[in-house]
Amino acid sequence: MIKSALLRSYRIQEFSQFMRNVLMIVGQHNPDKLKIKALYNALNLQHKKLQEAYKQNPVGDATPQLSNLDKRRDQALICLQKVSKGYFYHDNEKKVAASKQITACITKYGSRLYQLNYGAETAALKNLVRDLQTNPACMAALQELHLTDVVDVISQANTEFEALFVQRLEKFSQYDTSKELALPVTEAYRTLLQHVEAHATLTPSEGYTSLIGHMNENIDHFNKIVARRKSMGEPDETDVEVAAHQEKDTPAV
């Protein structure tokens, strides 16, 4: 009996490698003699289509870069908030007024922008930076408190984050296309298994027994990868998109 492969849990690279192994194993067991050559060819054809699509649309892992840019803009924003608020208590009236001006501008978009989800924070920071860099009163206040460079950091990090995030979404759209192409590969694979098991039942032979044994070894190998990943709590490739719709953890301040 051929074991059940956790195909739905395989990442696209793992799925492709799994099928590549299947084709290699079947090819080494004389598919003509085992009367599964047509099914082997069908699986090979579908797998080639998947490989070609994936080569054209590789999914890069931008999660660390996104996280670093998000942290950078959050820290700069917190710096801007805390430093400007600190001037509330200054004995210089111009600095106190500047403090109030900057704080009021930030508060208009919420006192904890860094807690918003990725998309909402990016949009809010774009508007905040625009106000701070184009409103004469805000520009004067920033200069008074020497905080212009901090806003520049927020702007740069936010712009880079947005560009990378959009790129990431586009790549995942292409990734979805690859996942769609994985469906006919899966169908061809399952059809092949059905015929192998049927032949092994109706006309048992060492050839089928050996083939099934090797296929099960391949299945065990990839299923263990999934089990190990789950036990270590590793995220799936699409977690960054899920995170875009969830609240972020509150950073230490």
* Amino acid 253: pLDDT: 36
| pLDDT tens-place string over residues 106-150 | 999 887 888 888 888 999 999 999 999 999 999 999 999 999 999
Structure tokens at 238: 């699409």
Is residue 220 within 8 A of residue 227, CB to CB? The reply is: no
C-alpha span between 127 and 10 (Å, rounded): 41
* Amino acid 251: pLDDT: 40
Q: Could you tell me which of 114, 96, 115 has the C-alpha nearest to residue 104? A: 96
Alpha-carbon distances of 7 from 3, 4, 204, 234, rounded to whole Å: 12, 9, 27, 17
Provide the residue ranges of all domains of the chain, joining segments of one domain with +. 1-248
| pLDDT tens-place string over residues 8-19 | 888 777 888 999
Mean pLDDT for 42-51 is 91
| pLDDT tens-place string over residues 71-101 | 999 999 999 999 999 999 999 999 999 999 9
* Amino acid 116: pLDDT: 83
C-alpha span between 82 and 200 (Å, rounded): 73
- The CA radius of gyration of the chain, in Å to the nearest whole number, is 28
**Cα first-last separation, the chain:** 58
| pLDDT tens-place string over residues 183-221 | 899 999 999 999 999 999 999 999 999 999 999 999 999
Mean pLDDT for 10-32 is 91
Of the chain, the percentage scoring pLDDT greater than 70 comes to 83
* Amino acid 117: pLDDT: 81
Contacts of 120 by beta carbon, 8 Å cutoff, 6+ apart:
none
* Amino acid 170: pLDDT: 61
Q: What residue type is 251 in one-letter code?
A: P
Mean pLDDT for 229-246 is 50
C-alpha span between 73 and 111 (Å, rounded): 15
Least confident range from 23-37, 49-63, 139-153: namely: 49-63
Confidence of residue 238 (pLDDT cuts 50, 70, 90): very low
Confidence of residue 245 (pLDDT cuts 50, 70, 90): very low
Average pLDDT, the chain: 85
Confidence of residue 252 (pLDDT cuts 50, 70, 90): very low
Chain center to CA of 204: 46
